[in-house]
Structure 1
Amino acid sequence: MPKIIPFRAVRPTRDKVSLIASRSYDTYTKAERKARLDNNPYSFLHIVNPGYKYHKELSGQERFQLVRNRYLEFKEEGVFIEEALPAFYVYKIVNRDNETFTGIIGAASVADYKNNYIKRHENTIQAREEVFKDYLKTTGFNAEAVLLTHPDFVPLNAIFEEVMRARAEYEFTTTYRDTHYLWPVTEERLVEKIKAIYADMPELYIADGHHRSSSSALLSDDLDAAETPGEAHKYFMTYIIPESHLRIHSFSRMITDLCGMDKDRFLIKLDSIFKIENRGEEYIQPSKVHHFSMYLEGDFYTLELRKQYRNFKNALEGLDAQILYDLVLKPLLKIQNPRQDARLAYGKGKNDMLGAKEKVDRGTYAVAFGLFPATVQQIKDISDEGLTMPPKSTFIQPKLRSGVTIYEFM
């Protein structure tokens, strides 16, 4: 039932794509951003940080307008080109661990998002939605696709194989040692097949990009109310991949203090909820659901949820991030709002407890918890029940680079 359509992407010329492609702005350290901006005149960071050329920090509408100005300059200078025909884009990433992610970039319907054919599992923050909506409205383009997923489907794999027999339009490797490939698909026979495959699916699920999709829906409402001509604003750019290609990692939780308790008192409180084992200096990352790791005052611990706490009434209650919040963060450590409490911070990645350990050892935080990653089925079940996860419940790969395909709607 979801309507996914091809679009005429604005994208870099083949010779410059590796120079333009960048990670999301906030994933760089200040030093990394400066190095790229100083040494690479083609980096997409020059577009999203337009004040750099004036040695000035910009914000709000002033920044948004200059983002548009820089973008138009890149187009005028021939750094970007526009696809001659509407296209889907087969996009493949092979990462440093030799994991492969393959999917299709296309445009998804805002109406399908509103009607829950594109299902969400995270709450969004209204202020962030409004800011990004204003950004989109001023700049007129989006360079970061929403990541959608669906069950594996053999006919789609056949299309991937057929398209990828040809030479890729793009093939470039990043400093993260991920290799990216892109094939535009404009042949009418294949375009219609792809549209039909998605139309036959009952729904798609948002894996990553809840704020982007929500902001696109707000923008569509604004432009509809203003009787804006055209259809482009009724869609948003997506990267759609089969479930088996998703990689889900967890975010650790780090808390600044034990809410007035000493170590022994805190462990006694936890003992009524978990079976606890002190593992000393042995690095522990949870190996299965409902098992947690904890680092406290120089020691790692394993925490296994006791059976009396496993009578879950819905899919959300069985999510480890929710369990930790309901049984530890809120009642014991008095974290009332995990989105805003300054005492709570998050790490991410496969071995994020190593970073958390260092921060606890430095005294920045008092305790850290590691979680087993959520599964695709958990995400789907929570979405299907109309529930939403706590913040930072999932860190999902793959991550596309900004500036490789750009969706214009104004």
Structure 2
Amino acid sequence: MSLIRPFAGLRPAPEHVAGVIAPPYDVLSSDEARVRAAGKPFSFLHVSKPEIDLPPTVDVHDPRVYEQGRRSFGRMLESGVLRRDAAPYYYFYRLVMGTHTQTGLVAAASCAAYETGRIRRHEHTRPDKEDDRVRQIEALNAQTGPVFLTYRHSAAIDAIARAATASTPDMDVTADDNVRHSLWVVSRPERIAALTEAFEALERLYIADGHHRSAAAARVAERRRVANAGHTGAESYNYFLAVIFPDDQMRILDYNRVVKDLNGLSPQALLARLDQAFEVSPEAEPVRPARAGEFGMYLAGRWYRLRVKPDRVPARDPVGRLDVSVLQDQLLTPVLGVGDPRRDRRIDFVGGIRGLSELVKRVDSGEVAVAFALCPTSLADLMAVADTGAVMPPKSTWFEPKLADGVVSHVLD
């Protein structure tokens, strides 16, 4: 079974692209999705966030939600808003956000490679979130939310990408968040074969974002294998929808932390406690950390720069040396009493796309007591953790720009 393979994608008809593509399901609340989909009857949010078409009192995991998604998906198929390609293709997908550009390959990635670790993961998943994605895949009989994969860049793949994207794109639209989405269909047999071979030569792929989607796809594949007496391995359920970007084009932003209270400490007492593990200096301007081991802290209307003392960093531990781990292990847990960050309700996370001003806003409003700005986790660190089979702390990475839902879907024939 190959690492990736082409597939007959389900795509919006050209005249409907702008009205179909939508932000990924997990970056909008239900209320935000209702606003974004207003006046757009074919927005993919009607499929990925189908609760928006039901009363607000309906729980998002109610069976009626998945049935509503199935009906919306079927309506888009029947009306010709979504059309299936005639043969298996690859697709190059380019995202442009400001001055940043990244181009990845849309492909079907092997569930077997995921299970054996050739497609590496770096996060724990939650059963309830996996269950949600399983139910969505089964309701639609399709995978509509792509898994965001990456790999150590390859000159051979770069060359194919340049050649394939030299022509006019088959889809080119700027979304309402000013991110430009372009798609090229790769239909030439020799180019398809070259891409399959070039990816097969890679040692492994890495999940950047989409751990619950990939885990759910693997569960659906296992369920269908067991139920299929004539299983061959060639069935579409053995693969999952992915967009695969080279590591040298990826953009990771900071993923910052805010804490609701000071664990019984005054601001002055907190600053005194920090001297044990950090060098602390007050700053007149907002602190955006420029290197590993450096943090910005906004407390009681003032910014501080924190630099962790070298002897506090376990340099040989690929997880323990991450800034998100250092902050947790040297400050959030021992000083502020924050426990498991996946479950402790005193901590919240703020994506770097919102800027340092969001940290100031939340502290000054009294919603939280203190905020911490972190240096973005590097992709090299992500890969190092995944290569050891370890997992990163939650909310370690924030990737921008985000992939759109509805650009290409993978039907499970």
Aligned equivalents of 1:139, 1:121: Cα separation in 2:
28
User: Equivalents in 2 of 1:46, 1:215: separation in Å?
Assistant: 21
Alignment partner, residue 384 of structure 1? 387
CA distance in 1, matches of 2:276, 2:237: 53
2:73 corresponds, among 71, 77, 97, to 71
Task: Tell me which amino acid in the other structure corresponds to 1:70.
Answer: S
The letter of the residue matching 2:46 is H
**DSSP-derived class of the 2:352 partner:** coil
| Distance 1:54-1:146 versus aligned 2 partners, 3 A rule | closer
Distance 2:407 2:326 in 1: 39
Q: 1:80 matched to which residue of 2?
A: 82
**Aligned residue number for residue 226 of structure 1:** 227
1:230-245 matches, cutoff 5 A? 231-245=235-249
Shift in Å, 1:123: 1.4
CA deviation after TM superposition for structure 1 residue 126, in Å: 2.0
Q: Any unmatched runs of 5+ in structure 2? A: none
Shift of residue 255, structure 1, vs aligned partner: 0.5
- Tell me: CA distance 1:305–1:50, structure 2 relative to 1, closer, same or farther (3 Å): closer
Letter in 2 for 1:273: A
**Residue pair 2:24, 2:402 contacting (<8 A) in 1 also:** no
Number of the residue aligned with 1:347: 350
DSSP 3-state at the match of 1:92: strand
Tell me how far apart the structure 2 counterparts of residues 295 and 362 of structure 1 sit (CA, whole Å). 13
Give how far 1:355 is off: 0.2
CA distance in 1, matches of 2:208, 2:2: 16
Deviation at 1:32, TM superposition (A): 4.7
- Whether 1:264 aligns to 2:268 is yes
2:253 pairs with one of 246, 249, 255: 249
2:177: which partner in 1?
Answer: 176
Query: Structure 2 residue aligned with 1:320, among 306, 323, 330?
Result: 323
Name which of 358, 366, 369 aligns with 1:366.
Answer: 369
Deviation at 1:357?
1.1
Q: Which secondary structure state, in structure 2, belongs to the residue aligned with residue 16 of structure 1? A: helix
Shift of 1:127: 2.0
Q: How many residues align?
A: 408
Instruction: Give the C-alpha shift of residue 311 in structure 1.
Output: 3.8
8 Å CA contact 1:252–1:352 kept in 2: the answer is no
CA contact (8 A) 1:2 1:118 kept: no
Contact 1:2–1:204 under 8 Å retained in 2: no
**Residue matched to 1:297:** 300
AA at the equivalent of 1:296:
L
**What TM-score results when the alignment is normalised by the length of structure 1?**
0.95
1:285 and 1:351 in contact (8 A); partners too: no
CA distance in 2, matches of 1:123, 1:28: 22
Q: Could you tell me which residue of structure 2 aligns to residue 7 of structure 1?
A: 7
SS in 1 for 2:134: helix
After superposition, the C-alpha distances for 1:319-352 in whole angstroms (9 at most, x for unaligned) are 0001111111111122111001111001012563
Cα distance, 1:351–1:35 mapped onto 2, change above 3 Å: closer
CA distance in 1, matches of 2:183, 2:53: 31
Q: Give the conservation status (yes or no) of the 8 Å contact 1:61–1:138.
A: no
Q: CA shift at 1:47, angstroms?
A: 2.3
The letter for the 2-side match of 1:365 is V
**Residue 161 of structure 1: how far off its partner (Å):** 1.8
> Corresponding residue for 1:131?
132
Which stretch of structure 1 is more off in the superposition, 150-159 or 336-345?
150-159
Contact 2:324 2:393 in 1 (8 A): yes
How far apart are 1:278 and its partner, in Å? 0.8
Aligned: 1:39 with 2:39 = yes
Task: Give the 3 Å change call, closer, same or farther, for CA 26–240 of structure 1 in structure 2.
Answer: closer
For 2:132 and 2:333, the matched residues in 1 are separated by: 30
Provide the rounded CA distance (Å) in 2 between the counterparts of 1:129 and 1:33.
21
Q: CA deviation at 1:379?
A: 0.6
Aligned to 2:198: 197
Aligned partner of residue 320 in structure 2, secondary structure? helix
Moved more, 344-353 or 195-204: 344-353
**TM-score w.r.t. length of structure 2:** 0.94
SS at match of 1:257: coil
Report the 3-state secondary structure (helix = DSSP H, G, I; strand = E; otherwise coil) of the residue aligned with 1:252: strand
Which residue of structure 2 aligns with residue 408 of structure 1?
411
* Matching residue of 1:399: 402
